[in-house]
Protein backbone atom coordinates (compact mmCIF):
# COMPACT_ATOMS: atom_id res chain seq x y z
CA UNK A 1 0.00 0.00 0.00
CA UNK A 2 1.49 3.33 -1.06
CA UNK A 3 2.15 6.21 1.32
CA UNK A 4 -0.22 8.40 -0.71
CA UNK A 5 -3.06 5.88 -0.32
CA UNK A 6 -2.39 5.60 3.40
CA UNK A 7 -2.40 9.38 3.77
CA UNK A 8 -5.69 9.58 1.86
CA UNK A 9 -7.23 7.00 4.18
CA UNK A 10 -5.92 8.89 7.22
CA UNK A 11 -7.57 12.12 6.02
CA UNK A 12 -10.92 10.51 5.21
CA UNK A 13 -10.90 8.50 8.43
CA UNK A 14 -10.12 11.58 10.53
CA UNK A 15 -13.02 13.43 8.94
CA UNK A 16 -15.32 10.46 9.53
CA UNK A 17 -14.32 10.21 13.19
CA UNK A 18 -14.69 13.95 13.76
CA UNK A 19 -18.13 14.11 12.14
CA UNK A 20 -20.80 14.57 14.83
CA UNK A 21 -22.71 11.41 15.66
CA UNK A 22 -23.68 9.26 18.66
CA UNK A 23 -20.05 8.58 19.53
CA UNK A 24 -19.01 12.23 19.54
CA UNK A 25 -22.13 13.12 21.55
CA UNK A 26 -21.21 10.49 24.15
CA UNK A 27 -17.59 11.66 24.36
CA UNK A 28 -18.57 15.31 24.84
CA UNK A 29 -21.31 14.49 27.33
CA UNK A 30 -19.04 12.32 29.43
CA UNK A 31 -16.27 14.93 29.46
CA UNK A 32 -18.76 17.65 30.44
CA UNK A 33 -20.01 15.50 33.29
CA UNK A 34 -16.79 13.89 34.50
CA UNK A 35 -13.83 15.66 32.97
CA UNK A 36 -10.98 13.53 31.66
CA UNK A 37 -11.32 10.85 34.34
CA UNK A 38 -11.97 7.48 32.68
CA UNK A 39 -11.41 8.96 29.22
CA UNK A 40 -8.66 6.46 28.20
CA UNK A 41 -10.95 3.48 28.86
CA UNK A 42 -13.88 5.23 27.19
CA UNK A 43 -11.88 6.09 24.06
CA UNK A 44 -10.33 2.61 24.16
CA UNK A 45 -13.77 1.08 23.59
CA UNK A 46 -14.27 3.17 20.46
CA UNK A 47 -10.79 2.20 19.25
CA UNK A 48 -11.38 -1.51 19.80
CA UNK A 49 -14.71 -1.30 17.98
CA UNK A 50 -13.18 0.42 14.95
CA UNK A 51 -10.34 -2.12 14.80
CA UNK A 52 -12.86 -4.96 14.90
CA UNK A 53 -14.89 -3.45 12.05
CA UNK A 54 -11.72 -2.82 10.03
CA UNK A 55 -10.55 -6.40 10.58
CA UNK A 56 -13.89 -7.78 9.44
CA UNK A 57 -13.75 -5.69 6.27
CA UNK A 58 -10.07 -6.40 5.54
CA UNK A 59 -10.40 -10.15 6.07
CA UNK A 60 -13.35 -10.36 3.71
CA UNK A 61 -15.84 -11.04 6.46
CA UNK A 62 -18.10 -8.10 5.67
CA UNK A 63 -20.73 -10.40 4.15
CA UNK A 64 -20.61 -12.60 7.24
CA UNK A 65 -21.02 -9.53 9.44
CA UNK A 66 -23.96 -8.31 7.41
CA UNK A 67 -25.63 -11.72 7.74
CA UNK A 68 -25.29 -11.70 11.51
CA UNK A 69 -28.08 -9.16 11.71
CA UNK A 70 -29.57 -10.52 14.92
CA UNK A 71 -26.28 -10.15 16.77
CA UNK A 72 -25.69 -6.60 15.62
CA UNK A 73 -29.28 -5.61 16.42
CA UNK A 74 -28.62 -6.74 20.00
CA UNK A 75 -25.31 -4.83 20.07
CA UNK A 76 -26.96 -1.73 18.58
CA UNK A 77 -29.64 -1.71 21.27
CA UNK A 78 -26.96 -2.24 23.92
CA UNK A 79 -25.18 0.85 22.62
CA UNK A 80 -28.44 2.81 22.59
CA UNK A 81 -29.14 1.68 26.15
CA UNK A 82 -25.71 2.91 27.21
CA UNK A 83 -26.40 6.34 25.71
CA UNK A 84 -29.71 6.46 27.57
CA UNK A 85 -27.89 5.54 30.76
CA UNK A 86 -25.47 8.43 30.28
CA UNK A 87 -28.39 10.76 29.51
CA UNK A 88 -30.23 9.66 32.65
CA UNK A 89 -27.14 10.19 34.82
CA UNK A 90 -26.61 13.70 33.44
CA UNK A 91 -30.28 14.63 33.77
CA UNK A 92 -30.50 13.53 37.40
CA UNK A 93 -27.11 14.77 38.65
CA UNK A 94 -27.51 17.72 41.05
CA UNK A 95 -25.68 20.85 39.83
CA UNK A 96 -23.62 20.94 42.97
CA UNK A 97 -22.10 17.52 42.20
CA UNK A 98 -21.65 18.05 38.47
CA UNK A 99 -18.50 16.15 37.64
CA UNK A 100 -17.76 15.38 41.27
CA UNK A 101 -15.40 12.53 42.00
CA UNK A 102 -18.10 10.79 44.01
CA UNK A 103 -19.86 10.24 40.71
CA UNK A 104 -16.73 9.03 38.94
CA UNK A 105 -16.17 5.97 41.09
CA UNK A 106 -19.46 4.32 40.21
CA UNK A 107 -18.37 3.04 36.82
CA UNK A 108 -15.28 0.86 36.52
CA UNK A 109 -12.92 1.23 33.58
CA UNK A 110 -14.20 -2.11 32.28
CA UNK A 111 -17.82 -0.89 32.35
CA UNK A 112 -16.84 2.30 30.57
CA UNK A 113 -14.83 0.37 27.96
CA UNK A 114 -17.61 -2.14 27.28
CA UNK A 115 -20.19 0.63 27.02
CA UNK A 116 -18.32 2.54 24.31
CA UNK A 117 -17.38 -0.74 22.58
CA UNK A 118 -21.05 -1.72 22.32
CA UNK A 119 -21.90 1.76 21.07
CA UNK A 120 -19.24 1.52 18.35
CA UNK A 121 -20.10 -2.01 17.21
CA UNK A 122 -23.76 -1.07 16.90
CA UNK A 123 -23.28 2.40 15.45
CA UNK A 124 -24.64 2.56 11.86
CA UNK A 125 -22.19 5.36 11.05
CA UNK A 126 -19.23 3.10 11.86
CA UNK A 127 -20.73 0.17 9.95
CA UNK A 128 -21.27 2.26 6.83
CA UNK A 129 -17.72 3.61 6.91
CA UNK A 130 -15.94 0.26 7.19
CA UNK A 131 -18.30 -1.85 5.09
CA UNK A 132 -19.17 0.67 2.35
CA UNK A 133 -16.83 3.67 2.36
CA UNK A 134 -13.54 1.92 3.15
CA UNK A 135 -13.61 -0.39 0.09
CA UNK A 136 -13.90 2.68 -2.16
CA UNK A 137 -10.75 4.19 -0.62
CA UNK A 138 -8.64 1.06 -0.12
CA UNK A 139 -8.44 -1.97 -2.40
CA UNK A 140 -9.11 -4.59 0.24
CA UNK A 141 -8.73 -7.46 -2.23
CA UNK A 142 -5.02 -6.68 -2.58
CA UNK A 143 -4.31 -5.52 0.97
CA UNK A 144 -1.19 -7.24 2.28
CA UNK A 145 0.07 -7.60 5.82
CA UNK A 146 2.02 -4.32 5.61
CA UNK A 147 -1.04 -2.46 4.35
CA UNK A 148 -3.22 -3.99 7.07
CA UNK A 149 -0.79 -2.94 9.78
CA UNK A 150 -0.42 0.50 8.22
CA UNK A 151 -4.16 1.16 8.29
CA UNK A 152 -4.46 -0.29 11.80
CA UNK A 153 -1.69 2.09 12.92
CA UNK A 154 -3.53 5.04 11.38
CA UNK A 155 -6.68 4.06 13.27
CA UNK A 156 -4.71 3.71 16.52
CA UNK A 157 -3.20 7.19 16.07
CA UNK A 158 -6.11 9.12 14.56
CA UNK A 159 -9.10 8.02 16.62
CA UNK A 160 -7.62 8.69 20.10
CA UNK A 161 -6.24 11.99 18.79
CA UNK A 162 -9.61 13.21 17.52
CA UNK A 163 -11.69 11.94 20.44
CA UNK A 164 -9.03 13.12 22.87
CA UNK A 165 -9.29 16.63 21.42
CA UNK A 166 -13.08 16.60 21.88
CA UNK A 167 -12.60 15.36 25.45
CA UNK A 168 -10.11 18.07 26.37
CA UNK A 169 -12.26 20.79 24.80
CA UNK A 170 -15.36 19.67 26.71
CA UNK A 171 -13.42 19.19 29.95
CA UNK A 172 -12.06 22.75 29.72
CA UNK A 173 -15.56 24.08 29.09
CA UNK A 174 -16.73 22.18 32.15
CA UNK A 175 -14.09 23.81 34.33
CA UNK A 176 -15.42 27.26 33.43
CA UNK A 177 -18.89 26.48 34.75
CA UNK A 178 -19.73 28.01 38.10
CA UNK A 179 -23.42 28.97 38.19
CA UNK A 180 -25.63 26.05 39.35
CA UNK A 181 -28.46 27.11 37.05
CA UNK A 182 -26.11 27.15 34.04
CA UNK A 183 -24.75 23.76 35.05
CA UNK A 184 -28.22 22.28 35.36
CA UNK A 185 -29.29 23.52 31.92
CA UNK A 186 -26.07 22.21 30.38
CA UNK A 187 -26.52 18.84 32.04
CA UNK A 188 -30.11 18.47 30.92
CA UNK A 189 -29.42 19.82 27.44
CA UNK A 190 -26.56 17.36 26.97
CA UNK A 191 -28.69 14.57 28.41
CA UNK A 192 -31.45 15.37 25.92
CA UNK A 193 -28.95 15.27 23.05
CA UNK A 194 -27.70 11.88 24.24
CA UNK A 195 -31.26 10.56 24.51
CA UNK A 196 -31.90 11.69 20.94
CA UNK A 197 -28.70 10.00 19.80
CA UNK A 198 -29.79 6.80 21.55
CA UNK A 199 -33.11 6.84 19.68
CA UNK A 200 -31.27 7.46 16.38
CA UNK A 201 -28.98 4.49 17.00
CA UNK A 202 -31.88 2.22 17.99
CA UNK A 203 -34.17 2.96 15.05
CA UNK A 204 -31.60 3.33 12.26
CA UNK A 205 -30.77 0.17 10.35
Answer yes or no: is 38 within a domain. Answer: yes
Range of the domain at 64: 3-11+22-203
pTM recorded for the entire structure: 0.72
Answer yes or no: is 16 within a domain. Answer: no
Query: What is the structure's pLDDT at 201?
Result: 57
Q: Is the pLDDT of residue 12 over 50?
A: yes
Answer yes or no: is 128 within a domain. Answer: yes
Answer yes or no: is 55 within a domain. Answer: yes
Query: What is the structure's pLDDT at 195?
Result: 72
Q: How many domains does the chain fold into?
A: 1
Answer yes or no: is 188 within a domain. Answer: yes
Answer yes or no: is 198 within a domain. Answer: yes
Residue 33, φ and ψ in degrees, nearest 5: -85, -30
Answer yes or no: is 17 within a domain. Answer: no
Render pLDDT for 20-42 as a digit per residue (tens, 0 to 9): 777 888 888 788 777 788 899 99
- Using CA atoms, how far apart are residues 100 and 158, in angstroms rounded to an integer? 30
Render pLDDT for 126-162 as a digit per residue (tens, 0 to 9): 877 887 788 888 887 788 888 899 999 999 999 999 9
Amino acid sequence: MSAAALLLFALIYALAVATPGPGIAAVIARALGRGVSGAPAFIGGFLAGDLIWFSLAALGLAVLAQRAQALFVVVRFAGAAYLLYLAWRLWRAPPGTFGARAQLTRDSNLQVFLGSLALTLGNPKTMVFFLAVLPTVVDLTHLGAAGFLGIALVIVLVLPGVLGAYTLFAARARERLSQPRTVRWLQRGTGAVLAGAAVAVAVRS
